[in-house]
Amino acid sequence: MAPETILTNPSETELALAVQENLFALFRAMAADLPESDLVASAGLHYHLTSPNNPMFKGVWGTRLGPDEADQAIERTILWFQERRAPFFFWWTGPGTSPADLGRRLQAHGLLDMAEQLHDLAAGIVSTESGAPGMFADLSRMNESALASVPQGFTISEVQNETDLQDFKRVLVEGYEIPEPMADGWVQAAHRVGIGRTTWKMYLGRLDGEPVATNMLLNGGGVAGLYGVATVPAARGKGIGGAISLAPLLEARRMGYRWAVLFATEMGVHAYERIGFRLTDARINRYLWRNPGG
């Protein structure tokens, strides 16, 4: 595999695109890391299907279709997942998605946008029908004082063993208010690849030994990307979310990365701004399909 080209002097338009390109790199990593995975790529559609029980591991992305072909493509894609007995998948939209009314078309085929998914999947992720705001940060200008603004007794480390992995899952469940089977998807992936061996790095924050925060880092698409940043309610307002977001990014900087991206919950925007992130015009949305056959 050719070495990745790291973004060094991108425009804001390129950074907005990098928000979704990093996400696409995560999907490719899932398909590459996990056994018995499917990855289909064409000029107008990409989709992946892997085994963990979480719709992040099953999805459609990079949609660039003409208005006259979109509805048939949606129907064919749904059928593809049905034939493989997928329980669900996400259909992702973002900068450059076409046709422009793809979201409306997906909803007409029964898919739910992010705002409509809250009660089913993640009550703790506050979003709107327009999707999640994309953000970027210059890694040379981060607010590193955030690492010192946490309570004494707070530590951050990579997930290294089964105890760490189960604690990581507990924080995701409590922090995002998601069903345990969804959080367990990340546990299943780590088991199948090997704990600490997934392309995405998993981090756990502990306060006085108790698990309170999570983060995942995926370097791809020329940038460093953050996922799964969660803090349990009892530990919020202490700077812990900012610290666990920042520490892995400084590691990515040491590896040569210049820029970081993420897409935030509405509640998380100000916390990310405090450590150096800025909003882009990019919005990332995901539409949920559930298999009516169960």
pLDDT of residue 3: 64
State the total domains in the chain.
Answer: 2
pLDDT of residue 294: 64
The verdict on residue 4 lying in a domain is no
The verdict on residue 149 lying in a domain is yes
**Are both 146 and 275 inside the same structural domain?**
yes
pLDDT of residue 138: 98
Backbone angles phi, psi at 19, to 5 degrees: -55, -45
Backbone angles phi, psi at 61, to 5 degrees: -160, 170
Q: Per-residue b/e over 174-205, b at no fewer than 16 CB within 10 Å?
A: bbbebeeebbbbbbbbbebbebeebbbbbbbb
The verdict on residue 3 lying in a domain is no
pLDDT of residue 199: 98
**Are both 169 and 244 inside the same structural domain?**
yes
What residue has token string 């990019």? 282
Where would I find the beta strands (DSSP E) of 52-200? Answer: 58-61, 88-93, 132-138, 154-158
- Provide the CB-side half-sphere exposure for 62 (13 A, CA): 19
Distance of CA 95 to the CA centre of its chain: 16
pLDDT of residue 267: 80
Return the CATH number at 114: 3.40.630
Angle between helices 12-33 and 180-193 (to 10 degrees): 70
- Please list, in sequence order, all residues whose beta carbon lies within 8 angstroms of the beta carbon of residue 215, skipping any fewer than 6 positions away: 202, 203, 205, 226, 227, 228, 229, 244, 245, 247, 248
The verdict on residue 6 lying in a domain is no
**Are both 191 and 278 inside the same structural domain?**
yes
**Are both 171 and 201 inside the same structural domain?**
yes
- Give the domain extent around 210: 135-283
The verdict on residue 180 lying in a domain is yes
The verdict on residue 113 lying in a domain is yes
Return the CATH number at 272: 3.40.630.30
**Are both 127 and 204 inside the same structural domain?**
no
Q: Token pair of 38, please? A: 């499917």
Q: pLDDT under 70 in the chain at which residues? A: 1-3, 117-129, 294
pTM above 0.85, yes or no: yes
**Are both 265 and 198 inside the same structural domain?**
yes
**Are both 84 and 171 inside the same structural domain?**
no
* 251 and 8 Cβ atoms separated by less than 8 Å: no
**Are both 224 and 238 inside the same structural domain?**
yes
Residues in the chain: 294
